[in-house]
Amino acid sequence: MKNPSILIKGILISLCFTISQSKAQVGINTSNPQTIFHVDGAKDNPSSGVPSSTQIANDVSITSTGEIGIGTLTPATRVDTRSATNSDNSIGIGETSQTAAIAGGGAVRYNPLNGGKMQYSDGIVWQDLISSPTKAVVVANLQAANFAVKIPYQVSTGIAGWTEVSDPTGNFTPGTGVFTAPRTGVYLVSFTYDFVRIPIVSGYFSEARYVVNGSSTVKKCVKSYSNISKQAQVAGSCVAGVQLNKGDTLQPYIYQSVYNGNLSLRTDTSSASNEYGFVNLSILEQ
């Protein structure tokens, strides 16, 4: 007679899992395995056809070439946790007391000392893992025919049509003047502008504005004037550190209340012109 405990264990296993094997594919909690080994964590996959990305989010798979996918059925690396819909795709890496030589080159560990840091083994010692991504550095100026760029009276106006000088990460669209943050963090933004010469009326002002996501003004730099009917060129600048989340957009705007009409920015297309180089923008990721 068979050992009762073995029988009970077998019954429990069969109740907890639905295991199928077809075409050399094994499925746990699914009769419709999509890879050589497929675990449907929530047991929500369809009995036929391809599961949706939401259904795959709780699955684990092993392909015929040995790649392991967590939340994906098509891992592109030896271990791939990049689920299309799962908000938690991180991998937990713990501590180890092994020497770097024993762990071998390419091993990764978490070291809790000095506030905690990630380290990798080069086969000899544990090296600190330091990330140094290429940061966004935008430098642009407004090159346009004189009197071509006009700012309406008391209307907040986005400045577009820039000429790029530098944008190594490609996060700035010069045609629209919109910058998209590649990462969450602080960005140092500098914006200068100058209008053509006009009479200044007492109490009037102009503003440089930074607008995030098309509607939220996060910074205003005001330039006010007190002289009455004196010819002058209205100009201003604004330097500010702006907190942006990944994917947020930022665009410089100008608001003018110094001339009741369309007031032209001081611009030109030739560097030899006296009107050239007065409207500039820079964005530096910190």
Question: Would you put residue 86 in left (φ > 0), alpha (ψ -120 to 50) or beta?
Answer: beta
141-171: per-residue pLDDT in tens? 999 999 999 999 999 999 999 999 999 999 9
| Residue, of 236 and 203, whose pLDDT is higher | 236
Which percentage of the chain shows pLDDT scores above 90?
79
Residues 156 and 104 in one domain: no
pLDDT-wise least confident of 11-15, 61-65, 119-123, 196-200: 11-15
Number of domains composing the chain = 3
In-domain check, residue 172 = yes
Residues 180 and 43 in one domain: no
pLDDT of residue 22 exceeding 60, the answer is no
In-domain check, residue 16 = yes
Residues 20 and 64 in one domain: yes
Residues 141 and 277 in one domain: yes
Residues 163 and 250 in one domain: yes
pLDDT of residue 16 exceeding 90, the answer is no
> Is the pTM value of this prediction over 0.75?
no
Residues 146 and 127 in one domain: no
In-domain check, residue 36 = yes
Q: Which helix (H) or strand (E) holds 22?
A: strand 19-22
In-domain check, residue 208 = yes
Residues 41 and 149 in one domain: no
pLDDT of residue 202: 60
31-67: per-residue pLDDT in tens? 999 999 999 999 999 999 999 999 999 999 999 999 9
Domain hosting 48: range is 4-80
pLDDT-wise least confident of 25-29, 72-76, 126-130, 203-207: 203-207
In-domain check, residue 87 = no
Residues 127 and 22 in one domain: no
**Inter-CA distances, 36 with 49, 186, 267, Å:** 16, 46, 65
Query: Where is the domain boundary, 131, 162, 195?
Result: 131
Which percentage of the chain shows pLDDT scores above 70?
88
Residues 195 and 275 in one domain: yes
CATH, residue 270: 2.60.120.40
**Inter-CA distances, 275 with 161, 174, 191, Å:** 17, 20, 17
In-domain check, residue 86 = no
In-domain check, residue 85 = no
Residues 106 and 241 in one domain: no
Nearest-5° Cα angle at 210, 209 to 213: 135
Average pLDDT, the chain: 90
In-domain check, residue 70 = yes
pLDDT of residue 83: 95
- DSSP letter for each residue of 156-211: -EE----EEEE-TT--EETTTTEEE-SSSEEEEEEEEEEEEEEEEPTT-EEEEEEE
pLDDT of residue 19: 47
Q: Which helix (H) or strand (E) holds 216?
A: strand 216-224
